[in-house]
């Protein structure tokens, strides 16, 4: 009977120590749960800012072309198309800047990645050669945002911890 109660106490202590180990590890993992996504932020922000500068230049160029240069009807149509493309690129760049903020990436990195990819691809469809650098940066940022985070769950932590060594038996 005495041997059985010592065994129960030992098992209870072993389980308690294992639970404390798992909880300590879980608290540290939970504290570091948000993956550092600095590269996505920097690439998305630079791509968005370059895209916004390009869009402002396109809008300014379309305005100059339509007001200062008095060509035929063909030039006015081209100026309007460039103006519309510039406005669309400015909206796309604004969305990419908004979704490259760290709080947005941490909340929903998949949505941020999809927004960056769509912005990069649509920019290439609107203006190919002008959107080369911002588009590449946004596509890389979107691909990086779609990575899975490398955090551990409590099940991973529980299976990876080894049970404590048994204390020396006291006889």
CA distance 74 to 161: 73
Per-residue model confidence as pLDDT tens digits over 59-76: 998 888 777 766 665 566
CA 149 to chain centre: 10
Q: Is the pLDDT of residue 169 over 50?
A: yes
Question: Could you tell me if 75 and 92 are in contact, meaning their C-beta atoms sit under 8 angstroms apart?
Answer: no
Q: What is the average pLDDT across 51-59? A: 94
Question: Could you tell me if 63 and 83 are in contact, meaning their C-beta atoms sit under 8 angstroms apart?
Answer: yes
How many other C-beta atoms are found inside a 10 Å radius of the C-beta of residue 25?
A: 17
CA 33 to chain centre: 14
> Residue 143: phi, psi to the nearest 5?
-65, -40
Q: Which residue has the higher pLDDT, 165 or 47?
A: 47
Structure tokens at 167: 């204390």
Q: What is the average pLDDT across 125-145? A: 92
Per-residue model confidence as pLDDT tens digits over 84-110: 999 999 999 999 999 988 888 888 889
Residues sharing a CB contact under 8 Å with residue 110, sequence separation 6 or more, in sequence order: 145, 146
Instruction: Give the pLDDT of residue 95.
Output: 93
Task: Classify residue 131 by burial, with Cβ atoms within 10 Å: 0-12, 13-18, 19+.
Answer: buried
Q: Is the pLDDT of residue 29 over 60?
A: no
In angstroms, the Cα distances linking 137 to 5, 16, 42, 47, 48 are 66, 50, 9, 5, 9
Single pTM value for the model: 0.65
């Amino acid at each position: 009977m005495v041997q059985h109660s010592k065994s129960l106490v030992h098992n209870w202590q072993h389980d308690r120590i294992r639970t404390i180990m798992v909880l300590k590890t879980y608290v540290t993992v939970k504290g570091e749960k948000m993956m550092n996504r600095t590269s996505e932020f920097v690439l998305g922000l630079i791509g968005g800012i370059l895209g916004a500068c390009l869009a402002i230049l396109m809008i300014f160029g379309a305005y100059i072309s339509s007001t200062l240069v008095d060509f035929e009807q063909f030039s006015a149509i081209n100026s309007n198309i460039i103006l519309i493309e510039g406005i669309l690129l400015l909206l796309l760049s604004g969305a990419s800047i908004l979704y490259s903020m760290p709080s947005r990436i941490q909340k929903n990195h998949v949505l941020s990645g999809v927004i960056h990819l769509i912005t990069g691809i649509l920019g290439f469809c609107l203006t190919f050669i002008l959107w080369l650098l911002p588009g590449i940066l946004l596509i890389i940022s979107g691909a990086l945002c779609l990575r899975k985070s490398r955090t551990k769950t409590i099940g991973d932590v529980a299976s990876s911890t080894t049970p404590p060594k048994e204390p020396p038996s006291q006889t």
